[in-house]
Amino acid sequence: MLRIETKARARALQLLYAWELQGGPSVPAIAIGLVRLTGCRETSVLDRAEELAEQVVTRVAALDRHAAAAADNWRLSRIATVERNILRLGIHELEQAEVPPKVAIDEAVRLAHWFAGARAPGFVNGVLDRIAHTLRRL
Confidence of residue 38 (pLDDT cuts 50, 70, 90): confident
Nearest C-alpha neighbor of 80 from the set 12, 6, 17: 17
Is CATH 3.40.50.1000 the right assignment for the domain spanning 59-138?
no
Nearest C-alpha neighbor of 41 from the set 54, 52, 32, 28: 32
Q: Would residue 23 be called left, alpha or beta, if left means φ above 0 and alpha means ψ between -120 and 50 degrees?
A: left
CB 124 within 8 A of CB 83: yes
Please give the Cα distance from 112 to 39 (Å, whole number). 23
- The whole-number pLDDT of residue 73 equals 83
Please give the Cα distance from 99 to 101 (Å, whole number). 6
Domain ranges of the chain: 1-58, 59-138
Confidence of residue 35 (pLDDT cuts 50, 70, 90): confident
Query: Is pLDDT of 14 > 90?
Result: yes
To the nearest whole percent, how much of the chain has pLDDT over 90? 82
Average pLDDT over residues 59-68: 96
Please give the Cα distance from 48 to 43 (Å, whole number). 8
